[in-house]
């Protein structure tokens, strides 16, 4: 019997260096249970680069570093902006990093200011005020330059704002440093008003000190969690068909801590909001590393209930994303008209938006706050206008957009491809470098015309195009021959260009090989009329190449400094969209997303594409909810705090990971009809983000079918095929489910899915389940319900899988037929076990029979290789009577099946390692317990299991590997559980059924979970 | 009839502990579980010492400098625990001075007779309620076979020194040590039992028969005085009077008085006393 169950809670940031963000040659190692020590013993002296970890973007935080060893050029430690890529230089030598150098300098932007040097064993202190952007450095309790964080005076640096990473450059080989953010020693030196980073407190339901070999080693968990009530956690999800229009939510619960002796009084001084909390459950005497994660949360607030108790109110870790989408603001120039208003944001492939006019003089219209977005269609009064004559890409420093080359006649809308990620294919030509020129041409480029005195390309701090207005078109091509050979842009791919040029006169044109090469359907796809940076995206409809030209008719004089080209991937599929929203734009880190797990599998099962446009700020969590709603799905944060996604699916044929029946359900099992109030047979997609009024369309458009699209809210509405069950007839014709899907086929898939899911009546099942406290069982038998598959072997029997209803009501039961009178046939499987004295129990379900004719069913469990041992069970399947094996076998009534158990104990002889289970359909004639080879017959079987111990646990389905039954606290929304009770029978279900879990409300100390499941 | 010790009014709680290794080998206090934990009332919050030494020649010495003089009738190492697979027996000793001790228990060998991870208690008598001036020296050493070094980790939850009611006999043998369990037990639909696994703790009910009036309530160290420690006041330690430390472990309880002892007059100058002590703080 395991010891007492213990709930252990870590409060605070883990603060450790990930393996993926280390300086070259730097090695991280454990300190106080976390990867907080960085050393570098190779790579020379000095060496640039830095190790970093995602840290904070708000608050007043205090932190200490212990300078373990100063060697050679020492150590730079400090912060770098999260948005700043790791530079090939030392920390502090960029505009976005600030550091203290142990040789006695503080550094920012490469500028050094002398302070006190450190020696091995010193503590370097750091305080950061996220509100004022003040950063203080100090050493051994003395802040540099009379700094006073507590009173906000004399910061070492100011203007340090936004999301920061902690970073360290081990500049001198042999140096080492350790982050020391933890607990009491840090609390003692923390300035008033600041909160120590790291683990602030460790509390538990029963006090214990961790073992020296544990992780973290030798720390104390204060047993102050009040025991007069079992703390609860909640994980639930909701779906658009139940809650259409509601926002995202995520309660978790609260925990009361006893504070009679005032040991936790320090909490009142600290900013605990959003402090991460990790809750683990284990057993007394276990190592902490063996504890299982039960929940991850953030502190919403800490309340002093009275002078003896403190209450921690916990929030879902996703609460960090209850913040507006961080949309950029327009700066003063060149956005003269829109200064300090939010820039628009585009995700995915959308049409149409009405971009704001930011620069009336130059007719500029930004469409996206980032630079990497592309316009592929512009309409004026609903009429498509021609690129390079009616419009071109805008020249902005802070946004992507268009420039109208003619004055708009009326309503101006654009179709846009939104944010993208850069791909591997990249070209970067820097024409400002003299060494990059061969003669008077940039290396690798050729001219598409004959140079003369008035029309030429020369090196002049860049590629200077001169054209007198009468000569040929001045064209520069990559490679040789007409259009050259590079860059070759692939068909169906998507690219970004960035050109920096100075325009003295005329205009720079970017051309592709003929109409139809790009989705802009133009030879000239971009026109640059003023100096600056031109950025644009294009999708190639054919293999093509790009060239730069100056229009001969206009003439002119311009210089191209750089020309960059990337192949990019549009952010429109679920993994990229969630990363963009939650990590790039939100407050989560990449590790907080279950990218490789549920997000990837949902995306693989339904590779939908999403699109979104905002010209004002939206809350990220609401947006994630809208994304999930679009696929009839949901998101939640799992017990480790990772954001996971799931979808409404028919659980009937899914693998159940837990089994509930009379033995482990407490109280009633309640059934409620799913009324699906948000259900509709119509699904709308391809949203029109800027519908036109009839008066805003030109007459030429009004007569075309496009007019309808331009005026519609959604360009696509699809209806599923088939019929809803009677309960859902009211959903027919209801207002369509509105999605962010941008592909017609995806919209159709959702409509079809809803018709399939609700073609039968659906119910919510509400019940409380319990898992036994004992360690979970493992089913050693492989292919536990697929007897035709290896490693099952047939000895004189015929096996047919999936031909009969299982105890769960699915066609997953098999028949095993013995049709020979010569031998006693069986289906058998062997397993390798240790030659010790472990006991094993085999169990299998066999269908009940009637009529007094069925042959005797048997199972035999034996261990051989040394001194063999075995045990048998022989059962009358009509009555369940155990004909042989009373000492070591049992028969349990399992509704339409018997569950037959047999146990055997190994005898410890050498090499007794082959465990074999035989399933025998006809061991003897009806009613006989004496084996007879002559008996012939068929048995219907399901759910074989072999486990250690002398009892059979609830059945665990296996396929290619032994499987372990889950603990109650591992149950998560989207898990499928099997329920088989008398009540499910009463509800008209033959035996039991698989259900999709949508809510799990568990208690930490007991192992009960209140569940709501759907199916 | 058995005897027992009721120890209360801890005198070391405001003192300043220091640590020294004496003799061959070495021992150091683990920084994350420092020596200050010896003054914490939670015995799960331990002082952890990594030691490496030889039988009788390597001493881990915790010295407490008391804030003021105090009465010490008994000293206890409450909740000591040796970690690791090859833990040796330990020897314990308490003195108030090395040079000229008023109290010196001598070395007492504590053989390991409890399951791994189970905290032990060891108690020393000071020979009556002695007043010690300023220092209490608590020593531990590994008691390995001669010449065999011992290396490992020793946790001590608490050093507790205080006044004691010492009953050479008169405690009823039916004193109870039981477990209080506030778990809620439920049954499944199939009659399986499940419980909310709330922390359990031990409760001792002690009945002293016919103690004299001085022990009952006249002396400064009496059950009446102990009664003032009930509820949220200081902790108490109750252990049976026995030479077998297994009984100390099994029947002794370190905790708090759940209620003041009931002192009932039975005639003459004699009283019956009932005391209930609950484990934990």
Chain A residues in contact with B183 by the CB 8 A cut-off are 1006
Report the Cα B200 to chain-centroid distance in Å.
Answer: 20
Q: Closest Cα of chain B to A998: distance in Å?
A: 22
What is the rounded average pLDDT for all residues in chain A?
A: 87
Intra-chain end-to-end CA distance of chain A, in Å? 36
End-to-end CA distance of chain B: 30
At residue B277, the pLDDT reads 87
Q: What predicted TM-score, i.e. pTM, was given to this entire model?
A: 0.80
What is the helix (H) or strand (E) element at residue A814, kind and residue range?
Answer: strand A813-818
- The β-bridge partners of A660 are A979
The per-residue pLDDT for A894 is 80
**B32 in reach of chain A (CB within 8 A):** yes
pLDDT of residue A498: 87
Residue of B nearest to A662 (CA): B190
Mean pLDDT confidence for A728-734? 93
Q: What would the 3-class secondary structure string for A807-832 be? A: CCCCCCEEEEEECCCCCCCEEEEEEE
Closest CA of chain A from B162, distance in Å: 21
What local confidence, expressed as pLDDT, does residue A469 receive? 61
Q: Nearest Cα to A755, choosing from A719, A799, A783, A784?
A: A719
Query: Reduced to 3 states, what is the DSSP secondary structure of residue A292?
Result: strand
The answer to whether A627 and A647 are in contact (CB under 8 A) is no
CA distances to A97, A479, A964, B19, B199 from A917, in Å: 66, 72, 19, 62, 42
- Mean pLDDT confidence for A346-360: 90
Q: pLDDT tens across A273-308, in order?
A: 888 899 988 888 778 887 888 888 888 888 888 888
Q: How far is A459 from A438, CA to CA, in rounded Å?
A: 10
Residue A956 has pLDDT above 60, yes or no: yes
Give the model's pLDDT for residue A470: 61
Query: A410 near A381, Cβ under 8 Å?
Result: yes
pLDDT digits over A213-223, tens only?
888 888 899 88
Contact: B30, A218; criterion CB under 8 Å: yes
3-state secondary structure of B231: coil
d(CA A564, CA A539): 16
CA separation for the pair A681, A195 (Å, rounded): 53
Residues of B in contact with A984 (CB under 8 A): none
> Are the C-beta atoms of residues A315 and A298 closer than 8 Å to each other?
yes
- Other CB atoms within a 10 A radius of the CB of residue A484 amount to 19
So what's the pLDDT on residue A489?
Answer: 85
Q: Encode burial over A568-596: b for 16+ CB neighbours within 10 A, e otherwise.
A: bebbbbbbbbbbbbbbbbbbbbeebbbbe
Give mean pLDDT, residues A538-544: 86
The pLDDT, as a whole number, for residue A410 is 92
Least confident residue range of A390-399, A499-508, A894-903: A390-399
Nearest to B48 among A4, A209, A772 (CB): A209
Q: Compute the average pLDDT of residues A385-402.
A: 83
Chain A closest-CA separation from residue B102 CA (Å): 34
Lowest-confidence region among A612-621, A968-977, B154-163, B256-265:
A968-977
Residue A844 has what pLDDT?
96
Residue of B nearest to A258 (CA): B281
pLDDT given at position A1: 34
Question: What is the token pair recorded at A961?
Answer: 């590997």
Structural tokens at position A117: 């040097």
Q: How far is A227 from chain B (nearest CA, A)?
A: 6
In degrees, to the nearest 5, what angle opens at C-alpha A957 toward C-alphas A953 and A959?
140
Residue B134, both tokens: 């300023």
Q: Give B189's contacts in chain A (Cβ within 8 Å).
A: 662-663, 665-667, 981-982
A665/A982 Cα distance (integer angstroms) = 11
Residue A169's DSSP bridge partners are A76
Tell if the CB–CB gap between A1006 and B42 is shorter than 8 Å: no
- Asked if residue A341 lies in contact with residue A331, where contact means CB atoms within 8 angstroms, the answer is no
Instruction: Write the residue in B116, B188, B198 that is nearest to A230 by C-beta.
Output: B198
Contact: A666, B199; criterion CB under 8 Å:
no
Residues 6+ apart with CB under 8 A from B30: A212, A218, B48, B49, B50, B153
> Residue for token digits 């409060």?
A11
Which residue on chain B is closest to A773 by alpha carbon?
B194
pLDDT of residue A564 exceeding 70: yes
pLDDT digits (tens, 9 = 90+) for B118-139: 556 776 666 667 777 789 999 9
Q: Do A212 and B182 touch (CB under 8 A)?
A: no
B86 touching A, CB under 8 A? no
DSSP label at residue A582 = I
- Using pLDDT thresholds of 50, 70 and 90, give the confidence band for residue A551: confident
Sheet bearing A374-380, strands edge to edge:
A349-353, A412-417, A374-380, A383-384
Q: What is the pLDDT of residue A989?
A: 67
Q: How far is A798 from chain B (nearest CA, A)?
A: 37
State residue A714's pLDDT score. Answer: 96
CA distance A878 to A904: 25
Cα A123 to Cα A100: distance, rounded to the nearest angstrom? 12
CB B12 within 8 A of CB B136: yes
Helices and strands (H and E) in chain B: how many = 3, 18
Tokens (6 digits) for A172: 């001198």
pLDDT digits (tens, 9 = 90+) for B188-219: 877 777 777 677 788 888 888 888 888 888 77
* Cα–Cα distance for residue pair A641/A461, rounded to 1 Å: 53
Residue A662 has its nearest CB partner, among B33, B190, B196, at: B190
Distance from CA of B281 to the nearest CA of A (A): 9
Residue B115 pLDDT greater than 50, yes or no: no
Residue A946 has a pLDDT of: 95
Q: Count of CB atoms within 10 A of residue B178's CB? A: 9
Q: Average pLDDT of A987-1000?
A: 80
Q: Which two tokens stand for residue B279?
A: 């484990």
Instruction: Say yes or no to pLDDT of B168 above 50.
Output: yes
Place of tokens 């009004």: A702
Percent of all residues in chain B with a pLDDT value above 90, rounded to a whole number: 14
DSSP string, A624-691: HHHHHHHTTEEEEE-TTS-EEEEE---GGGSPPSEEEETTTEEEEEEEEE---TT--SEEEEEE-SSP
3-state secondary structure of A183: helix
Q: What is the pLDDT of residue A556?
A: 81
CA distance A891 to chain B (A): 16
Which residues of A have a CB under 8 Å from any CB of B? 4-5, 32, 205-209, 211-212, 216-220, 222-223, 227-228, 230, 260-261, 284-285, 661-667, 770, 772-773, 981-982, 1003, 1005-1008
Q: What is the pLDDT of residues A590-636, one digit of tens each?
A: 888 999 999 999 999 999 999 999 887 788 988 999 999 999 999 99
* Stretch A169-180: mean pLDDT: 93
**Number of C-beta neighbours around residue A153 at 10 A:** 12
B197 to A773: CB separation less than 8 angstroms, yes or no: yes
Whether residues A285 and B117 touch (CB distance < 8 A) is answered with yes
Which burial class, exposed, middle or buried, applies to B213 when counting CB atoms under 10 A from its CB (0-12, 13-18, 19+)?
middle
**DSSP-derived secondary structure for A353-371:** E----SBGGGTEEEEESSS
**pLDDT digits over A225-277, tens only?**
887 766 777 888 889 999 876 655 555 678 888 887 777 888 878 888 888 89
- Pick from B89, B84, B45, B277: which is nearest to B165 by CA? B277
| Least Cα separation, residue B280 to chain A (angstroms) | 10
pLDDT (0 to 100) of residue B1: 44
What is the pLDDT, as a whole number, of residue A986?
74
Find out whether A840 and A915 touch, Cβ atoms under 8 Å: yes
The helix (run of H) or strand (run of E) holding residue A709 is helix A706-711
With 70 as the cut, is the pLDDT of residue A333 above it? no
3-state secondary structure of A443: coil
Which of A356-360, A438-442, A999-1003, B65-69 has the least mean pLDDT? Answer: A438-442
Give which of A748, A594, A657 is closest to A963, Cα–Cα: A657
Side-chain half-sphere of B227: how many Cα atoms within 13 Å? 14
Q: Which of A223, A285, A662 sits opposite B44 (nearest CB)?
A: A223
Q: A799-829: buried (b, 16+ CB within 10 Å) or exposed (e) per residue?
A: bebeebbbbbbbebbbbbbbeeeeebbbbbb
| A695 vs A398, higher pLDDT | A695
Quick check: B202 contacting A, CB < 8 Å?
no
Instruction: Flag whether pLDDT at B31 surpasses 60.
Output: yes
Q: What does the pLDDT read at residue B111?
A: 64
**Quick one: which of A540, A527, A499, A550 has its CA closest to A402?**
A527
Structure tokens at A432: 């400002």
Q: From residue B247, how far is each of A68, A818, B81, B244 by CA, in Å?
A: 48, 65, 17, 6
> Which ipTM score applies to this complex?
0.90
Q: Does the distance separating the beta carbons of A209 and B189 come in below 8 Å? A: no
Out of B32, B42, B196, the one facing A218 most closely (by C-beta) is: B32
Range A437-441 average pLDDT: 79
Give the pLDDT confidence score for residue A934 in this predicted structure.
93
Cβ atoms of A619 and A221 within 8 Å: the answer is: no
DSSP code of A290? G
What is the predicted pLDDT for the residue at A340? 76
| pLDDT tens string A360-375 | 888 889 888 876 678 8
- In b/e form, how buried is each residue of B90-122, taking b as 16+ CB within 10 angstroms? bbbbbbbeeeeeebbbeeeebeeeeeeeebbbb
In Å, the largest CA–CA distance within chain A is 112
pLDDT on residue A166: 93
pLDDT band, very low/low/confident/very high, at B246 (cuts 50, 70, 90)? low
Chain A partners of B45 at a C-beta cutoff of 8 Å? 207, 209, 220, 222
Residue A947, judged by CB atoms within 10 A of its CB (0-12, 13-18, 19+), counts as buried
In whole angstroms, what is the distance from residue A946 CA to residue A938 CA?
A: 22
Q: What is the reported pLDDT for A574? A: 97
By C-alpha distance, the chain B residue nearest A769 is B188
Q: Please say whether the beta carbons of A186 and A141 come within 8 A.
A: no
Inspect the interface and report whether the beta carbons of B44 and A208 lie closer than 8 Å: yes
Count of CB atoms within 10 A of residue A999's CB?
19
CA distance A605 to chain B (A): 38
- Phi and psi at residue A875, to the nearest 5°: -130, 140
Position B117 scores a pLDDT of 44
Confidence tier at A732 by pLDDT (50, 70, 90):
very high
Place of tokens 């015995």: B43
Distance from CA of A888 to the nearest CA of B (A): 22
Report pLDDT digits (tens) over A189-209.
899 999 888 888 899 988 889
On the question of pLDDT at A150 being above 90, the answer is yes
A665 CB neighbours in chain B (<8 A) are: 188-190
CB pair distance less than 8 Å for B199 and A662:
no
On whether any CB of chain A is under 8 Å from the CB of B155, the answer is yes
């Amino acid at each position: 019997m395991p010891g007492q169950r213990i709930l252990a809670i870590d409060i605070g940031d883990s603060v450790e260096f990930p393996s993926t963000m280390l300086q070259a040659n730097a090695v991280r190692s454990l300190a106080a249970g976390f990867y907080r020590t960085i050393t570098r013993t190779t790579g020379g002296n000095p060496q640039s680069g830095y190790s970093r970890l995602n840290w904070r973007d708000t608050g007043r935080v205090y932190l200490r570093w212990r300078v373990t060893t100063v060697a050679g050029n020492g150590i730079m430690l400090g912060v770098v902006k999260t948005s700043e890529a790791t530079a090939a230089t030392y920390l502090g030598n960029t505009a976005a990093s600030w550091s203290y150098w142990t040789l006695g300098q503080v550094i920012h932007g490469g500028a050094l200011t002398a302070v006190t040097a450190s020696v091995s064993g010193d503590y370097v202190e750091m305080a950061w005020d996220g509100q004022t952007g003040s950063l203080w450095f100090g050493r051994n309790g003395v802040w540099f330059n009379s700094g006073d964080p507590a009173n906000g005076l004399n910061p070492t640096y100011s203007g340090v704002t936004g999301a920061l990473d902690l970073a360290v450059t081990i500049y001198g080989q042999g140096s080492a440093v350790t982050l020391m953010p933890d607990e009491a020693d840090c609390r003692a030196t923390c300035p008033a008003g600041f909160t120590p980073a790291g683990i602030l407190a460790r509390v538990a339901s029963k006090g214990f000190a961790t073992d020296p070999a544990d992780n973290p080693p030798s720390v104390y968990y204060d047993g102050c969690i009040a025991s007069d009530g079992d703390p609860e956690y909640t994980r639930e999800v909701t779906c658009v068909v139940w809650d259409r229009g509601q926002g995202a939510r995520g309660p978790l619960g609260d925990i009361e801590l006893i504070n009679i002796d005032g040991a936790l009084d320090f909490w009142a001084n600290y900013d605990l909001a959003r402090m991460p909390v990790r809750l683990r459950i284990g057993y007394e005497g276990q190592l902490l590393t063996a504890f299982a994660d039960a929940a991850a949360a953030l502190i919403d607030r800490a309340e002093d209930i009275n002078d003896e108790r403190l209450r921690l109110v916990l929030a879902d870790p996703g609460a960090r994303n209850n913040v507006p989408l961080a949309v950029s603001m327009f700066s003063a120039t060149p956005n003269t008209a829109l200064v300090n208003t939010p820039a628009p944001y585009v995700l995915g492939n959308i049409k149409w938006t009405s971009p704001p006019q930011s620069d009336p003089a130059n007719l500029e219209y930004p469409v996206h706050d980032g630079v990497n977005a592309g316009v592929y269609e512009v309409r004026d009064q609903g009429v498509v206008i021609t690129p390079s004559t009616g419009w071109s890409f805008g020249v902005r420093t802070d946004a992507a957009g268009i420039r109208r080359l003619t004055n708009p006649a009326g309503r101006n809308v654009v179709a846009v491809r939104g944010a993208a990620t850069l791909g591997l294919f990249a070209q970067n030509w820097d024409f400002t470098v003299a060494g990059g020129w061969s003669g008077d041409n940039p290396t690798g480029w050729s001219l598409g015309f004959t140079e003369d005195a008035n029309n030429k390309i020369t090196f002049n701090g860049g590629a200077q195009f001169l054209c007198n207005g009468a000569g040929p078109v001045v064209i520069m091509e990559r490679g040789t021959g007409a259009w050259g050979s590079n860059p070759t842009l692939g068909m169906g791919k998507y690219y970004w260009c960035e050109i920096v040029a100075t325009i003295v006169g005329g205009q720079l044109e970017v051309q592709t090989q003929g109409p139809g090469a790009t989705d802009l359907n133009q030879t000239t796809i971009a026109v640059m009329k003023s100096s600056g940076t031109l950025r644009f995206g294009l999708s190639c409809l054919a293999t093509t190449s790009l060239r730069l030209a100056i229009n001969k008719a206009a003439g002119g004089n311009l210089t191209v400094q750089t020309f960059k080209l990337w192949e990019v991937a549009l952010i429109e599929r679920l993994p990229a969209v969630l990363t963009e929203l939650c990590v790039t734009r939100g407050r989560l880190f990449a590790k907080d997303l279950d990218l490789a797990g549920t997000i990837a599998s949902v995306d693989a099962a339904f590779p939908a594409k999403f699109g979104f446009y905002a010209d004002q700020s939206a809350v990220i969590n609401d947006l994630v909810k809208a994304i999930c709603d679009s696929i009839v799905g949901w998101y939640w944060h799992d017990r480790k705090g990772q954001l996971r996604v799931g979808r409404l699916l028919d659980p009937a044929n899914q693998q159940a990971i837990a089994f509930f029946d009379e033995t482990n359900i407490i109280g009633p099992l309640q059934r409620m009809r799913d009324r699906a109030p948000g259900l509709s047979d119509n699904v709308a997609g391809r949203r029109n983000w800027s519908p036109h009024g009839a008066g805003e369309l030109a007459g030429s458009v009004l007569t075309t079918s496009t007019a309808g699209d331009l005026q519609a809210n959604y360009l696509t509405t699809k209806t599923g095929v088939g019929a809803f069950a009677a309960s859902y007839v009211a959903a027919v014709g209801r207002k369509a489910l509105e999605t962010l899907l941008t592909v017609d086929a995806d919209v159709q898939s959702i409509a079809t899915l809803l018709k399939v899911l609700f073609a039968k009546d659906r119910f919510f099942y509400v019940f409380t389940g319990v898992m036994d406290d004992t360690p979970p069982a493992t089913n050693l038998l492989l292919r536990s319900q697929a007897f035709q598959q290896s490693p099952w072997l047939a000895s004189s029997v015929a096996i047919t899988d999936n031909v009969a209803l299982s105890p769960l009501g699915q066609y997953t039961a098999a028949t095993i037929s013995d049709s020979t009178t010569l031998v006693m046939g069986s289906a058998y499987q062997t397993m390798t076990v240790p030659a010790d004295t472990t006991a094993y129990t085999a169990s299998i379900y066999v269908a009940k029979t009637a009529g007094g004719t069925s042959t005797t069913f048997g199972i035999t469990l034996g261990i051989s290789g040394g001194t063999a041992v075995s045990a048998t069970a022989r059962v009358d399947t009509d009555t369940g009577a155990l004909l042989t094996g009373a000492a070591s076998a049992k028969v349990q009534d399992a509704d339409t099946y018997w569950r037959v158990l047999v146990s055997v104990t190994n005898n410890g002889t050498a090499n007794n390692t082959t465990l074999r289970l035989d399933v025998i359909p006809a061991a003897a004639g009806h009613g006989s317990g004496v084996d007879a080879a002559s008996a012939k017959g068929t048995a219907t079987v399901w759910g074989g299991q072999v486990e250690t111990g002398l009892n059979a646990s609830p059945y665990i389905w296996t396929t290619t590997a032994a499987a372990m039954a889950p603990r109650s606290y591992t149950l998560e929304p989207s898990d499928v559980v099997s329920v088989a009770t008398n009540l499910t029978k009463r509800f008209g279900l033959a035996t039991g059924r698989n259900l999709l879990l949508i809510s799990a409300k568990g208690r930490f100390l007991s192992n009960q979970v209140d569940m709501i499941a759907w199916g | 009839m058995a005897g027992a010790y009721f120890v209360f009014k801890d005198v070391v709680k405001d003192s300043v502990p220091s640590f020294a290794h004496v003799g061959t080998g070495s021992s150091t206090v683990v920084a994350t579980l420092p020596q200050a934990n010896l003054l914490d009332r939670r015995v799960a919050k331990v002082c952890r010492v990594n030691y490496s030494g030889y039988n009788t020649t390597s001493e881990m010495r915790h010295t407490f400098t008391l804030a003021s003089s105090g009465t010490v009738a008994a000293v206890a190492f409450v909740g000591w625990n040796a970690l690791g697979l090859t833990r040796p027996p330990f020897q314990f000793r308490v003195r108030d001075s090395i040079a000229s001790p008023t109290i010196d228990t001598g070395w007492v060998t504590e053989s390991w007779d409890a399951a791994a991870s189970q905290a032990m208690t060891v108690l020393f008598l000071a020979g009556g309620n002695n007043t010690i001036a300023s220092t209490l020296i608590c020593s531990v050493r590994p008691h390995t076979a001669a010449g065999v070094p011992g290396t490992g980790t020793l946790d001590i939850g608490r050093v507790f020194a205080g006044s004691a009611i010492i009953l050479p006999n008169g405690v009823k043998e039916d004193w109870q040590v039981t477990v209080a369990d506030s778990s809620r037990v439920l049954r499944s639909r199939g009659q399986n039992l499940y419980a909310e696994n709330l922390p359990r703790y031990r409760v001792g009910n002690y009945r002293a028969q016919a103690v004299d009036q001085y022990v009952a309530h006249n002396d400064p160290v009496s059950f009446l005085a102990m009664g003032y420690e009930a509820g949220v006041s200081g902790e108490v330690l109750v252990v049976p009077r026995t030479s077998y430390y297994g009984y100390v472990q099994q029947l002794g309880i370190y905790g708090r008085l759940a209620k003041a002892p009931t002192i009932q007059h039975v005639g003459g100058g004699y009283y019956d006393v009932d005391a209930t002590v609950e484990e934990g703080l």
